[in-house]
Amino acid sequence: MPFHLTPEQKTRFEEDGCLVIKGFIPKPITQQLLDRSKELLRDFSLEGHPLTVFSTSAEEKHVGDDYFLSSGDKIRFFFEQKAFTDGKLNRPKELAINKIGHSLHTEDEAFKDFTLHNEDIRNLAKELDFHQDPRVIQSMIICKQKEVGGAVNSHDDSTFLYSNPLSALGFWFALEDATPTNGCLSFVPGSHKINKIHSRLERVEGGGTEIRKIPLKEGEEEVKLPDWDGEGIDWVAAPCEAGDLVLIHGSVIHRSEANLSQKSRFIYTFHMIEGSAEWDEKNWLQPTPGVPFTKLYG
């Protein structure tokens, strides 16, 4: 049976800016993708690896070394901050990777097949009616390793995937159960309706990236946004079983806690934008001649 979105699910997504779709991926495919993720972790080499760390913690500057900045059309491996003691890995590499990115959907056959040749995903995108001509722009496996899996601070995705007009949409697939104990996602439902994307991650001259203010348009006034982590904000956890899908609107505020538990929380995610939207050359992620942003309805 091909996937169909119910009118209730569509309304829920429009109202909340996020939607959990239970059992979207059949169990054998979920297992295949998890196995493939573990194979990638087993097979990558540490030789010559710059040991780039990925972290969203406030004290950390955003990663911006060449290994990260040139990963948009490759499969690369980014480490957990807590997987190091005195500059040395304190666990096997398979248990030390934070995420694998950013082009599994073009560079790995299993993830390519799942992402781009999937009737259920195409049906869902059509029925959601969020994009006319969706383009898949990046993909990642986020491992949220046991004991050292880093928290992802509250954010919206459009700050990192800025298009004009805004059009980022995330597809987040649980490959393992995600619970409040091992760092499931949480959302501020409806925040996409009041959030204003006032900053964006830019590549900066001389290397690296920085979150910078977007200049206000003439006559535009700065909108004061709530302190999303402060008092009175209603966060809702989105626990998932392996195979569930979470849709994430580009402006909805979300986060995930650190994983100090003994269970990893592998997920696969990709993001899409509208094909006709303007993609700025300052964005860290850039299409390349070999790997242009990929049409979903190709």
Cα 133 to Cα 17, 235, 277, distances in angstroms: 20, 32, 10
The single residue among 34, 53, 152, 169 that binds ligand AKG, judged by CB under 6 A, is 152
Is there binding between residue 269 and ligand AKG (CB under 6 A)?
yes
Is there binding between residue 272 and ligand AKG (CB under 6 A)?
no
Nearest residue (CB) to ligand AKG, 66 versus 229: 229
Nearest residue (CB) to ligand AKG, 124 versus 248: 248
The span from the CA of 280 to the CA of 166, in Å, is: 11
The single residue among 76, 203, 249, 254 that binds ligand AKG, judged by CB under 6 A, is 254
Is there binding between residue 101 and ligand AKG (CB under 6 A)?
no
What distance, in Å, lies between the first and last C-alpha atoms of the chain?
A: 22
CB of 256 to ligand AKG, least distance (A): 3
CB of 34 to ligand AKG, least distance (A): 15
Q: Are 177 and 240 in contact (CB under 8 A)?
A: yes
Q: For ligand AKG, which stretch binds (CB under 6 A), given 63-71, 206-214, 233-241, 248-256?
A: 248-256
Is there binding between residue 172 and ligand AKG (CB under 6 A)?
yes
The span from the CA of 292 to the CA of 9, in Å, is: 31
Consecutive H or E run containing 273: strand 267-274
The span from the CA of 275 to the CA of 261, in Å, is: 40
The span from the CA of 290 to the CA of 133, in Å, is: 20
* Residues in binding contact with ligand AKG, number by CB under 6 A: 12
Residues that bind ligand AKG (CB under 6 A): 142, 144, 152, 157, 170, 172, 185, 248, 254, 256, 267, 269
